[in-house]
Structure 1
Amino acid sequence: MDGFRFVFDLVVEINGIENIFWIFFAMNFVLCAVAYELGFARKLPLGKTIFVYMMLLIGTYILTIFTTVMKMPTVESLLVIILVLAIYRIRLHRQRKATK
């Protein structure tokens, strides 16, 4: 399983383990927010948008526990998710552009 945790190993090597939880919390939140925006976001009123991001913060806290304590490759998984969603959005945009 060590081969799939290249981001975890790199961050620990650069920063040590002092603030590792908060570093991964920030990384996970940013990556989750990007994945949400690429795949699931809709125009919502401000209150609902704030609520969605507060729930995303809570979910990211739980996800960060999996990353730091259980050493699961969540950051790497989020990067793959973002890549797939970005490819999907680009292809969808090109398809819509071609039909107009």
Structure 2
Amino acid sequence: MDITERLSFFAALYKVHEQPEVGMWLLYLTITALSVLVYKLGFAKKLPLGKSIIIYIFLILGSTMLTFLGIFLPVAEGLVVAALILIIYKIRLWQSKKTRTEAN
């Protein structure tokens, strides 16, 4: 069995099997950026600076573990889908608030 057949989309895109160091860093940065985006779109609240820093530190540490899983499992792809769903939700929420204020 060829290992390239089992790689996830982003792992294959970044050629983790050919350039493991660069590919893993790119996969890590992708997963971290998508995790931050999903957090900001879906779960972030106004917090003091110290608490926000702690949350982002744990988010970055969690992304490290997700990167190793993301080689063969669709972790980054799932984060892309979650981000798209949350973006659509935010746009619809913004549109409904806009129509409510125009109706008043």
What is the TM-score normalised by the length of structure 1? Answer: 0.86
> Alpha carbon RMSD of aligned pairs, Å?
1.9
Mapped contact 2:10–2:77 kept (Cα < 8 A)? yes
1:77 aligns with 78
Percent identical: 35
Q: Which structure has more RCO (C-alpha within 8 Å, separation ≥ 6)?
A: 1
1:99 aligns with 100
2:56 aligns with 53
Alignment of 1:1-100 (within 5 A): 2=5, 5-12=8-15, 16-68=19-71, 71-100=72-101
CA 79–3 in structure 1, closer or farther in 2 if over 3 Å, else same: farther
Corresponding residue pairs, total: 96
Once the two structures are superposed, residues 33-75 of structure 1 have per-residue CA deviations (whole angstroms, 9 ceiling, x without a partner) of 001011111111100110110010111111111013xx11111
Instruction: Name stretches of at least 5 consecutive residues in structure 1 with no aligned partner.
Output: none
Which is greater in Rg?
2
What is the TM-score normalised by the length of structure 2? Answer: 0.82
